[in-house]
Amino acid sequence: MASAAPEAEKKEEEQEQVVNPWEVSAGKGGIDYDKLVDQFGCQRLDATIIDRIGRLSGRPPHRFLRRGLFFAHRDLNEILDLYEKGEKFYLYTGRGPSSEALHLGHLVPFMFTKYLQDAFKVPLVIQLTDDEKFLWKNLTVEESKRLARENAKDIIACGFDIDRTFIFSDFNFVGGAFYENMVKVARCVTYNKVVGIFGFTPEDHIGKSSFPPVQAVPSFPSSFPHLFSGNDQLRCLIPCAIDQDPYFRMTRDVAPRIGYQKPSLIESRFFPALQVNLFSE
């Protein structure tokens, strides 16, 4: 009787990959990034753009660019066009605090964001989504806030420009102009749309479907009147891992409808696992 093992291995290899902000899985061959670029509709970073970053910044392109760790983008050339004309932009990245400390994979976007801030001398906002982790993880509000504070220490240790960097947690900051933008976004996104983007099910509590506007609006400068007052059309560049793309596909769809510029993105692969199977043949 033939073994069922080859058939099982074939099914594993053909398993549909899942990449979203809360789940990343693939078959035995790992993540197919070419397929992901086509599925998400972003663009590949090529040597022309990488060389242009080096030329405009006056410093060698970061090793994460040269080695292909950051590999995809949305409208990055538009940001570079503006910078070449003498206009500024700002950076936005973030962290969902679900552990005591950041590991190497968590540090990738922060290390690269520091390079961008130093290279282009631009402001940066860093969002700590402690509310998201309360909604998705088995954490109390108090524990989520504590982890955000602990993670902030690791982020600060990356050496960002203290005069150009604003770090905030959602539990402590959401309100005022930030909340006004949240409800503007929320009114533009139907429940069917958010289910299509994020895959929510009828069993998911409503907190999950209400969260995406929270992560969307830091890409609008009017969410931070104490930083960007009178500059509501300032462009935003978001360095992030590719799994965060769904949030910003939604954001880019909504932005022109509420009078704002679409954010641009530069997106990384996932940091490879470091485990070694000592018992493999």
Rounded to 10 degrees, the C-alpha dihedral 170/74/261/213 comes to -30
Taking only the tens of pLDDT, the chain with its 281 residues reads 444 554 444 444 446 788 888 888 777 778 888 999 998 999 999 999 999 999 999 999 999 999 999 999 999 999 999 999 999 999 999 999 999 988 888 899 999 999 999 999 999 999 999 999 999 999 999 999 999 999 999 999 999 999 999 999 999 999 999 999 999 999 999 999 999 999 999 999 999 999 999 999 999 999 999 999 999 999 999 999 999 999 999 999 999 999 999 999 999 998 776 664 444 44
Question: What three-state secondary structure class fits 57?
Answer: helix
Eight-state DSSP code of residue 15: P
Q: Are strands 43-44 and 235-241 parallel, antiparallel or unpaired?
A: unpaired
Q: Which residues contact 111 (CB under 8 A, 6 or more apart)?
A: 64, 158
Quote the radius of gyration of the chain (alpha carbons, Å). Answer: 20
Question: For residue 15, what pLDDT is reported?
Answer: 61
